[in-house]
Amino acid sequence: MTRKGELFAGLTVAVVTPFRDGEIDEPALRKLVDYHVEQGTDCISPVGTTGESPTLSHDEHERVINIVCEQAAGRIKTMPGTGSNSTREAIRLTKFAKAAGATGSLSVAPYYNKPTQQGFYEHFKAIAEAVDLPIVVYNIPGRTAKNIEPETIVKLGELKNIVAVKESTGSMDQSSHILAGSELTILSGDDSLTLPLMALGGSGVVSVVGNIIPRDVKAMVTAFQQGDVATAQKWHHKMFPLCRDMLGLSTNPIPLKGAMMLLGRGNGEMRLPMTPLDENQLKSLAKTLASYGLATQR
């Protein structure tokens, strides 16, 4: 079966938002875009969970989208986060992303509101009808407080420009239900579950660990796509400790920004309420990075 969102198959990296002295570090953000172009990343997704979007003002959110799309300049696909717990705001941001030249949008389930399943459906339907842009639904109940049930997602898949789901429920059964009942593309939202999900029929990942090892994540995805399961398994097992630390040491993107600082690829700065890893956590992370073969600066 040809799935609707194969445009986003492969490796999408959920990129961080670099800060310096409390403000968006535009040169560092542009450098990140160039880095992923050079590394062969298929798509980048700014201003999502990893991009600390809840700490950005609306103007800053738009600014990051503009910078990333401008710097991408057609060299790499872009899937900015444009979701909100306000349907009107989600429509406004998605329209902005389209005007900025984004390839598609990543639209998170309305958080905090805890809508009914009908509410979820009407929310995404309103966005899809208002903006002619490929939309990837982002289902992450651990952050939003409520699951978009698979029956609802299957129904959403009947809408023309809802093309894929970023699956962050951790449920293989939910993914199987969606794949069996729709033509939607499924992208893993959990690095450690990418290979298992691809075995079910998933098409790739929106990756956190891809911020630091994009070539390796892409190598795993490509190996599986080419039928080389043994190589894909080797990559999965090699990357697993890093994937574990990116989520296990603290809340995303705290460990990731710590890792990027240790690797000399950022200053580690975050905005409250996000706070850095403590010294013991940094030592543990540095050990994992070194075991992987990555040279740290401490």
Catalytic annotation, residues: 138, 166
Q: What's the chain's length in residues? A: 298
Find the angle CA(287)-CA(291)-CA(293) to the nearest 5 degrees. Answer: 120
According to DSSP, the residues that pair with 81 across neighbouring strands are 106
Q: Contacts from 112-116 at CB under 8 Å and sequence distance 24+?
A: 112/85, 112/144, 112/145, 113/85, 114/145, 114/146, 115/146
**Residue 165 and residue 187 in contact, taking contact as beta carbons nearer than 8 Å:** yes
What backbone torsions phi and psi does residue 191 show, to the nearest 5 degrees? -55, -40
**Residue 52 and residue 76 in contact, taking contact as beta carbons nearer than 8 Å:** no
What backbone torsions phi and psi does residue 226 show, to the nearest 5 degrees? -90, 5
Which residue is listed with tokens 């805890």? 114
